Amino acid sequence: MSNSYKLLVLPGDGIGPEVMNEVVKIAKGIEEIGGVQFNIEKDDIGGAAYDRYGTPLSEETLEKAKNSHAILLGAVGGEKWDNLDFSLKPEQGLLRIRKELDLFANLRPALCFKSMVESSSLKAELVSGLDIMIVRELTGGIYFGEPRGIQEQGDGSRVGINTQSYNTEEIRRVARIAFELASKRDNRVTSCEKSNVMESGILWREEVTHVHKNEFQSVQLSHMYADNCAMQLVRNPKQFDVIVTDNLFGDILSDEAAMLTGSLGMLPSASLGAVDSKNFRKSLYEPVHGSAPDISGKGIANPIASILSFAMCLKYSFNMDKESDLLNKSVNDVLSSGFKTADLMGDNNKNLSTVEMGDQILNQLRNNFKL
């Protein structure tokens, strides 16, 4: 069967396994309606991988990841592993898989569903209809720059060092992704850096401008300092279409944007590599929220960010736009009928568990398919 895809599921830690169970359920539903077959393999990453293999990402798991059509990841991290050596911490598994697969473009859409307008901490009129795409550079910058470390000074004091560094191609390739996305949306890109204080920010601005001038003149480009962007996101978020920014600013700005949509439990993400000669691109999909240890094991985590991440997978990895739209619509429909999980501050009587939310979305998906 040609429409058969290898999916590697890495549930990870905390609420990761709980929400990923719901994604697997949805994937089975998509198999029924989409005429595809997903060969799903599960493995560990993060703390769970450390417990099993003694490393947050084993070589075997990495090999499997390289040989999959797409990777679906839950979350990593938790108190249990707080005292491990830095190189063994759960987060290192995630950073390594991003880096090894060269998943340089992290797409984080912040979309405010109609039914969620009241859950946002901002006034309804500011977020209603909100649709922003944050493109975060994911394999460079201060997350990976050298030199790094903690140096003893010999006098009892220490210095902690990290390096923000970007080269031409790292900036240009992520800028291209942002312009391409914008051209299919509202055709506007805002590039964010701190060129007022950082040389890497000056280079960022120049290279984004270069790509714009040479390849994407029809897209509207503006530049903004990242701190101003943080402020504008809460002042008037609807002014943005696509935001492109570096690894660290993107990490922070996407958490901020997530909250505009009502809950961090709603925000999906896609991490994409370059398209190869066979027209294939490596890809990993994960919710923006973390492992949420405070609610893990209680069965109340919101699976929507993970399910929407799978919707992104259908679109960006398998060109199943129709099924992807159907899944997005199903999530919206379920929320519109008043069903919420605890994080969405809905009517408590109607709060669903993780499993119930997955079931509702699956049912709705089946119904919407029949329509």
List residues near Mn ion by CB under 5 A.
251
Write b or e for each residue in 264-296: b if 16 or more Cβ atoms lie within 10 A of its Cβ, otherwise e.
bbbbbbbbbbeeeeeeebbbbbbbbbbbbeebb
- Residue 55 DSSP class: S
Residue 5, H or E segment: strand 4-12
The nearer residue to Mn ion, 111 or 335, going by C-beta atoms, is 111
d(CA 110, CA 253): 11
The pair phi, psi for residue 357, each rounded to 5°, is -65, -45
Pick 43 or 251: Cβ nearer Mn ion = 251
- Token pair of 360, please? 């509702």
Q: Which does 94 bind (CB under 5 to 8 A by kind): ligand IPM, Mn ion, none?
A: ligand IPM
* Contacting residues toward ligand IPM, per CB under 6 A: 76-77, 91, 94-95, 251, 288, 290
93 binds, among ligand IPM, Mn ion, none (CB under 5 to 8 A by kind): none
Which residues are identified as catalytic? 143, 194, 227, 251, 255
Q: Could you tell me the two tokens for 12?
A: 């990870």
Q: How far is the CB of 233 from ligand IPM (least distance, A)?
A: 16
Backbone angles phi, psi at 203, to 5 degrees: -60, -45
Q: Residue 15 carries which DSSP code?
A: T
Q: Pick the closer one to Mn ion by CB: 26 or 133.
A: 133
DSSP letter string, 248-287:
HHHHHHHHHHHHHTT-GGG---EEEEEE-TTS-EEEEE--
By Cβ distance, which residue is nearest to Mn ion? 251
Residue nearer to Mn ion on the CB measure, 251 or 343 = 251
